[in-house]
C-alpha cells in the first residue's frame, strides 16, 4: 500500500472524527453548548433529598445545593414524584458522593453529575425510569440511551403511555396560578364597583340672620324708630323702648 494512500486515509478519518465531535457539541435552546464540560470534582455527604433531581450535601462544613445535570425528575405533586424521590433517597441519602461539577444554574445551585462508588446516579435515575433526559439543556448521548432503555422496558414513570414531563407540569401550574390571580383581581375590582359611593353633600348657602333691632322712642312726638333709622337716638327728647311702644316711623318702619 502506498504511503500517500495511507496518509489520505488518515486525513479522511481525522476529518470524520472532527465531524462527529462537532455533531456531539450541539446547541441547547438557551444558546449554550448542550454537551456539558466538567470543571471540577467535589465530594460531600448527602444530608437531604429534596426531590429526585435536587439534593443537598455537606462539604467542608458548608451546605451545598446540587441539581443533577441533564435530567428532570417528576415534581412531588406528579405521578411517581414521591416514588422517584424515595428511590434516590434509598440509593444515596447519608452517603458520601462525588459531584462532577458542570456549572451553576439560575437558582445558584451547583450543576453536576453525581457518582456513588463509580456509578453515575444521573444515568441510573433515567435508566430506572425515575427521570427524563432534559434535552432542552443537555444532549449527553449516555442519558439519551438511558431514556430509550427505560421507555422500552416501561420502567418507573414509563408504565404510563404518556406521562407528563415535569417542565410541562410546571408550565401548567404557572398558567393556573396566573389565571387564579387574574380572577381574584377581577373579583376585587367587581366588589369595589358594587360598593355605593358616598353622596357628596354640598352645603346650602347660609342665609344671614336678620340683624337684631333696638328701638328709640321720640318722647315729644311719640314716634318709634329702629336702630337702622337716621333718627334713632337723634331726637331732642327720647328714650330706649320696645318694639311695641309708640307709633312706627314712616321711614324705617319703627
- CATH number of domain containing 44: 2.40.50.90
Is residue 253 helix, strand or coil? coil
Specify which residues 99 forms β-bridges with: 42, 114
Give a yes or no: residue 209 inside a domain. no
The low-confidence residues of the chain, meaning pLDDT below 50, are: 2-26
Same domain, 158 and 63: yes
CB 98 within 8 A of CB 114: yes
Task: Using the 3D structure, point to which of 152, 168, 184 is the last residue of a domain.
Answer: 168
> Which domain-ending residue is among 110, 143, 168?
168
Please indicate, yes or no, whether residues 140 and 70 belong to a single structural domain of this protein: yes
Q: State the catalytic residue, choosing from 69, 75, 123, 147.
A: 75
Q: Is residue 228 included in any domain, yes or no? A: yes
Is 103 among the domain residues? yes
On the CB side of 150, CA atoms within 13 Å amount to: 24
Which structural domain range is residue 219 located in? 215-248
Q: Is 67 a catalytic residue?
A: yes
Question: What pLDDT, on the 0 to 100 scale, is given for residue 4?
Answer: 46
The answer to whether 183 is a known catalytic residue is no
Q: Residue 18 falls within a domain, yes or no?
A: no
61 and 151: one domain?
Answer: yes
Task: State the residue for C-alpha cell 462508588.
Answer: 117
What pLDDT score was predicted for residue 225?
A: 83
Is 109 considered catalytic here? yes
Residue 17, domain member (yes or no):
no
pLDDT of residue 13: 42
What beta strand segments (E) does the chain contain? Answer: 40-51, 54-59, 62-68, 71-72, 96-104, 110-116, 119-120, 132-133, 215-218, 223-226, 238-241, 247-248
Q: Give how many domains the chain has, as a whole number.
A: 2
Cα–Cα distance for residue pair 49/116, rounded to 1 Å: 15
- Determine the pLDDT at residue 102: 98
C-alpha to C-alpha distances, 40 to 101, 179, 184, 230, nearest whole angstrom: 5, 43, 48, 113
pLDDT computed for residue 23 by the predictor: 40
**pLDDT at residue number 29:** 56
Catalytic residue among 23, 43, 61, 67: 67
Q: Is 190 a member of any domain?
A: no
Q: Is residue 199 part of a domain?
A: no
pLDDT above 70: percentage of residues in the chain:
83
230 in the same domain as 157: no
Q: Please report the pLDDT score of residue 97 as a whole number.
A: 99
Catalytic hit among 69, 109, 127, 224: 109
**Does a structural domain hold residue 1?**
no
| 118, 233: one domain | no
Q: What is the pTM of this model?
A: 0.62
**68 in Cβ contact with 101 (< 8 Å):** no
Amino acid at each position: 500500500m502506498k504511503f500517500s494512500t495511507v496518509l489520505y486515509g488518515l486525513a479522511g478519518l481525522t476529518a470524520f472524527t472532527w465531524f462527529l465531535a462537532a455533531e456531539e457539541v450541539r446547541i441547547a435552546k438557551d444558546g449554550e453548548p448542550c454537551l456539558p464540560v466538567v470543571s471540577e470534582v467535589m465530594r460531600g455527604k448527602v444530608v437531604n433529598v429534596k426531590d429526585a433531581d435536587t439534593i443537598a450535601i455537606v462539604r467542608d462544613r458548608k451546605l451545598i445545593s446540587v441539581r443533577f445535570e441533564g435530567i428532570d425528575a417528576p415534581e412531588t405533586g406528579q405521578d411517581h414524584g414521591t416514588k422517584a424521590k424515595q428511590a434516590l433517597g434509598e440509593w444515596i441519602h447519608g452517603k458520601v458522593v462525588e459531584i462532577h461539577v458542570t456549572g451553576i444554574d439560575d437558582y445558584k445551585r451547583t450543576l453536576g453529575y453525581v457518582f456513588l462508588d463509580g456509578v453515575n446516579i444521573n444515568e441510573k435515575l433515567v435508566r430506572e425510569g425515575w427521570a427524563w433526559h432534559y434535552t432542552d439543556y443537555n444532549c449527553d448521548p449516555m442519558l439519551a440511551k438511558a431514556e430509550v432503555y427505560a421507555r422500552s422496558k416501561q420502567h418507573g414513570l414509563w408504565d404510563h403511555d404518556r406521562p407528563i414531563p415535569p417542565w410541562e407540569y410546571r408550565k401548567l401550574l404557572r398558567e393556573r396560578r396566573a389565571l387564579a390571580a387574574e380572577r381574584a383581581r377581577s373579583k376585587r375590582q367587581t366588589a369595589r364597583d358594587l360598593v355605593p359611593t358616598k353622596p357628596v353633600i354640598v352645603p346650602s348657602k347660609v342665609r344671614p340672620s336678620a340683624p337684631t333691632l333696638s328701638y328709640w322712642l321720640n318722647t315729644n312726638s311719640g314716634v318709634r324708630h329702629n336702630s337702622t333709622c337716621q333718627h334713632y337716638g337723634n331726637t331732642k327728647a327720647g328714650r330706649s323702648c320696645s318694639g311695641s311702644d309708640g307709633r312706627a316711623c314712616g321711614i324705617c318702619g319703627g
